[in-house]
Structure 1
């Protein structure tokens, strides 16, 4: 039996921003995103509440849209202080390690601190923050079909073990070994 919900991908992901214009300009300059759409309302369509907002949409490639809300009547934007900064982020795909390194050079030339590349066994990433304090990741896949298949195979076992023990299951230790070998720490 097929599932009754048929997803066609992510329509958009929406986050809050401090300044819609600054955010649109930053994503265009730093990541080359095209600004495509804006909605501005005084009342929230889903609730009817009075809460003026600007909702901007940026094209992240391949039909993926990143959106932001500027909410001038709400308290100053904050973050979840109980969650480490490295946890909440969004990641964009780039085509190769060369593109990842070129992106890093470009972003650093914009005066932005960049962490990485970090080797995750099957992909490499760089990390940085946007002007709103959101952590952004650029990642490129480097794994083999066999490695991705093995990760998919052990995923249910790892989740079950994690659920019972709350300690990291060791079913994919080979990922860490790949990263250690690349860094000469074998």
Structure 2
């Protein structure tokens, strides 16, 4: 059985939904291993992922690929960049394919730091949102791929304020800027 929360934390409807996920399989996917992005300018994208998101380069290869990881003991690489053709079309918001990829942060304070860094480095912020289960900042990389950084909101907190923890409940710009405190039922550690 797929376990998202300790026993007793899930509500009745959540538990019924989780029970439907049980399916016998001969294999079990453990996690998303890594993401590979094809980019127009490998050096520009390398600087973006190093300087804006703090990803350390762990390797490069003879094909021009660059590999990044924040924890090589646990994951040899989380992200890789591969050179694309300069004449290739940029992604558009409505095209079929990857919508975005997200990176988890450890706290709301880290999310605020990321938001400030993006502002200082003129990163295009698409939007911010409280989802119930998380607080997120969505932004674009130099090739127009949408990325997300987020911090989790504990279940005991979001259950105070939302009926569906997988929805959108408005912008959190003012919280990220420190202009207003985190609202009751949305407090992320």
Tell me the TM-score range normalised by the shorter chain.
0.5 to 0.7
Q: Which residue of 1 aligns with 2:46?
A: 24
Q: Is the 8 A contact 1:121 1:143 kept in 2?
A: no
Alignment root-mean-square deviation, CA: 3.7
Distance 2:88 2:168 in 1: 40
Q: Is the 8 A contact 2:129 2:137 kept in 1?
A: yes
Output one character per residue of 1:69-104: Cα deviation in whole Å (capped at 9) or x when no partner: 1034x742432564389x711110011111101110
Give, in angstroms, the shift of residue 20 of structure 1: 1.2
Q: Which residue of 2 aligns with 1:172?
A: 164
- Over 3 Å counting, the alpha-carbon distance change for 1:81 and 1:95 in structure 2 is closer
Distance 1:174 1:34 in 2: 31
Distance 1:81 1:67 in 2: 22
- In structure 1, the gaps of 5 or more residues are 42-53, 149-170
- Over 3 Å counting, the alpha-carbon distance change for 1:105 and 1:80 in structure 2 is closer
- 2:82 is the alignment partner of 1:69: yes
Output one character per residue of 1:31-57: Cα deviation in whole Å (capped at 9) or x when no partner: 10011122234xxxxxxxxxxxx2221
Indicate the structure (1 or 2) with the bigger Cα radius of gyration. Answer: 1
Of 95, 99, 106, the residue aligned with 1:83 is 95
- Over 3 Å counting, the alpha-carbon distance change for 1:89 and 1:4 in structure 2 is same
Alignment of 1:48-127 (within 5 A): 54-61=64-71, 63=75, 65-72=78-85, 75-79=87-91, 82-83=94-95, 88-127=99-138
TM-score calculated relative to the size of structure 2: 0.63
Aligned residues: 148
Q: Is the 8 A contact 1:17 1:77 kept in 2?
A: no
More strand by share: 1
Q: Match of 2:95, SS?
A: coil
Give, in angstroms, the shift of residue 178 of structure 1: 9.6
Q: Is the 8 A contact 1:60 1:66 kept in 2?
A: no
More helix by share: 1
Distance 2:154 2:36 in 1: 30
